[in-house]
Chain A
Amino acid sequence: MSGRWSRVGFYLLLAAVLFVALFPFWWMLDTSLKQPIDIFGGATLYPHHPTWDNYSRLFNTYHFAAYLENSIIIVIFSVTVSLVLGTLAAFSLTRFNLRFGLNNSALVVALVVRMIPGILLVIPLYIMLAQWGLLNTRLGLILIYTGLNTSFVIWMMQSFLAEIPRDIEEAAMVDGDSRLTALWRVVLPLAAPGLAATAIFTVIATYNDFLIALSLTSTTDAQTVPVGVSTLIGKIQIEYGPMAAAGVIGALPILIFALLVQRHFVRGLTLGAVK
């Protein structure tokens, strides 16, 4: 069936696909290390006069440290809280037979909340936060991301927890544990990889969010890294060097995290459609 040529062709095709997928990353990194002469002097594949200038300008002139700080704080709080809330809820959904058909409908609700396009939420959220005085605050963003992430956590953890056989915790309960301590001592450690994967997905989704952060904040007091990246896109002139550097900072943490969970990717992104 396949001769040597079709094999070579196959490898070439794969290489081409990988190249197309990865070249823009390289280009952005490349540009972030170039001086203006290099940037405007025609496309070069590597910086002829590399410099850290763009990064230092990013942090000095453009207050990028503030954006990073906001992002980190907001992500830590919202992800942690949503993990707790979501896991408890998922536990309840997988271990108990609830009335009113809640087992099914709760999952549907979680799914729906997860799927709503951001633009549909943003204006009502803006009006809501304005009324509560939470515009341009980290707390406001934390609350919103917590709510959105909880639905995602429920969906993910529900499938991970369902895989853990009940006998294990029933055995623990025979030995005297209550439901909750059984969850704590026995089930969670088993679900740890799933929990970790869910956590990382949630971190990625929260860190990357742009529309909600853009609409609900107005100063460096609360603006996150994606918003910071967008402020570098000027109307009259664009400083491409710092803009590329900002993109690199916006992408780097996520790249690292993504590589950690790449085994769980399809499940997370398709909400377990392919089992």
Chain B
Amino acid sequence: MNDHTAHERTKRSYTRKEVIRGAVGAGATLGLAPLIAACGGGSSSSAGSATAGSTITIGSFSDPAMVPFRDIYLKKFTAETGIKTKWHETNYNAWYQNSKTDGLQKTGAYDIYVMDDNWVPEYAAGGAIQSMDKLGLKVNPNILQKGLEQGYWPPKSGPRLKAFANDTPQLYALVIIDDVEILYYNKDYFSSAPKTWDDIMTVAKDKSNPPSLYGWTARGVSGNPIMQTYLPLLNSYGGNFANDDWSPGFAGPEGVGALERLFEFIPYMPSGVAAFDTSQETAVMLQGHCTAMTEYTGTAHVVDDPTQSKVPGKIDFAATPSQVKSGPAIGTFICGIASAAPNTAGAVKFLEWFTSDKVQHEFASGGSVAVTGPALRDPALAAKYRWLPACADAVDNSIPKPRTPDEPKMEELLGTELNKALVEAIAQKSGYQQIAQTHLTNAANQITAYLKQQGTY
């Protein structure tokens, strides 16, 4: 493989040019480096301007629910106020990482982060977002309370971290879309709106006929997805993700019972359910192959869309089934203002504008799940979009997830064990209680160990 270059005495010119360019480049880069480094980083937040001509930068993760926000409302805001908007979107994990880095390191690349609600404690405690109360943001009193409370740190109710035990709750993030779990059911198979898990089970046993018709479907992917399947069950059986003293509340009889109930649906669920996420679960329902499912309201607006649904008009909405009570989880799309945001005034103005009654009403007119009571309960809109009032009720009855920066990690730990348990239960087809107890106990131990390691409890 030796190349004998000794005899090739050609092509001097391009080599020389390259070296010249390099030398200049090297000198330029190395010489300017300290200068640029000095100017480049560590920008602190400035007031910016809420006047026409300034710009706000908004970043988000990709989600169908954010489509109207991105395509319609950003432009409306610019048209009404003259403040320009820049939008940057990427996938969920990448956005979680990027926004957190930007906030923690104060690189100031964004003004507003669109976040998942369980990021709020982490970002607020770590200083990645700033207090909106201090910025003087005026909150619309019509925003449904439970959705609004997602944005407070420390939380207004529920257990707190030791370090924040005596702090006054301040608003760190403002909810823009109420995303809450709700029961989707196909009217053809239910004589009346199902209320309990037994109601669902009865219909599943009677009417389902796999593989053409399933009695239940779920998101089974490990981590956050399967957690969303499990939470309405857990809450309805009276269990808690975390008790008031932060000990896990799912490894006792309530939690085990809830998981067993999910396993009992296995004969009536699609066989690949352990690998399902939102799109697969929704597809089964919208193709008319399933009688009922719990899901977030983000996908509600496609149920009547003939290009996506084979059962337009047939799917109705109700509270998530109860055992001792109904306990939907709430997960909002929520906006925080970056700690090093270049234009805080513009950001505040945008958020106040978007959550105003007028804009929220328009938002709901497109079928999106607004955050204000009047928009969601407007009779005219409810006639057109039957999920809106159901969402409002679900929000009012929702059970928040534990408000701690470690919540995503807790979901990951429990979600991994849940997925393992589901896979085992599907394979074994029996011994459900044993499987449920083992895996829930494992998860409880892992979470306890992790929280102990964090040392803030």
Contacts and interface: CB of A to CB of B under 8 A. Distances in A.
Interface string B1-26: 11111101111101110110111011
Interface in B21-62: 21-23, 25-26, 29-30, 33, 36-37, 40-42, 59, 61-62
Interface residues of A, number: 51
A160 B33 CA distance: 31
B57 to A, nearest CB: 8
B41 A135 contact: yes
B90 A139 contact: no
A236 B6 contact: no
A134 B37 contact: yes
B22 A133 contact: no
Contact of B40 (A134, A160, A163, A164): A134
B279 interface: yes
Contacts of B109: 136, 218-219, 221
Contacts of A130: 105
B26 A81 contact: yes
Nearest to B4: A163
Nearest to B64: A236
A125 interface: no
A165 B6 contact: yes
B157 interface: no
Contacts of A232: 91
A137 interface: yes
B75 interface: no
Interface stretch (A9-17, A47-55, A110-118, A192-200): A192-200
Contacts of B277: 235-236
A85 B26 contact: yes
Interface in A27-63: 63
A218 B109 CA distance: 8
Contact of A219 (B15, B36, B98): B98
Contacts of A76: 25
Q: What DSSP secondary structure best describes chain A's contact surface?
A: helix
Contact of B16 (A63, A81, A85, A184): A184
A164 to B, nearest CB: 6
B40 A199 contact: no
Contacts of B59: 219
Contact of A192 (B11, B29, B40): B11
Interface in B68-114: 88, 90-94, 97-99, 101-102, 105, 107, 109-110
Q: What DSSP secondary structure best describes chain B's contact surface?
A: helix
Contacts of A4: none
A230 B18 contact: no
Contact of B2 (A139, A188, A233, A275): A275
B26 A137 contact: no
Contact of A137 (B1, B5, B40): B40
Contact of B8 (A184, A190, A234): A190
Contact of A274 (B1, B29, B91, B101): B1
B341 to A, nearest CB: 13
A164 B6 contact: yes
Given A190-B6, A199-B18, A231-B94, A275 B278 contact: no
Given A143-B33, A199-B18, A236-B279, A231 B107 contact: no
A253 interface: no
A45 to B, nearest CB: 27
Interface stretch (A18-26, A98-106, A204-212, A259-267): A259-267
A142 interface: yes
Contacts of A184: 16, 19
B31 to A, nearest CB: 12
Contacts of A237: 62, 64, 279
A15 to B, nearest CB: 25
A81 B15 contact: no
A275 B1 contact: yes
21 contacts: A76-B25, A80-B21, A81-B25, A81-B26, A81-B29, A83-B19, A84-B23, A133-B41, A133-B42, A136-B101, A137-B36, A139-B33, A189-B12, A190-B8, A190-B9, A192-B15, A218-B109, A219-B102, A231-B90, A235-B91, A236-B64
8 closest residue pairs by CB, A with B: A133-B41, A218-B98, A80-B22, A84-B22, A231-B90, A235-B92, A189-B12, A219-B109
Interface of B: 1-6, 8-12, 14-16, 18-19, 21-23, 25-26, 29-30, 33, 36-37, 40-42, 59, 61-64, 88, 90-94, 97-99, 101-102, 105, 107, 109-110, 277-279
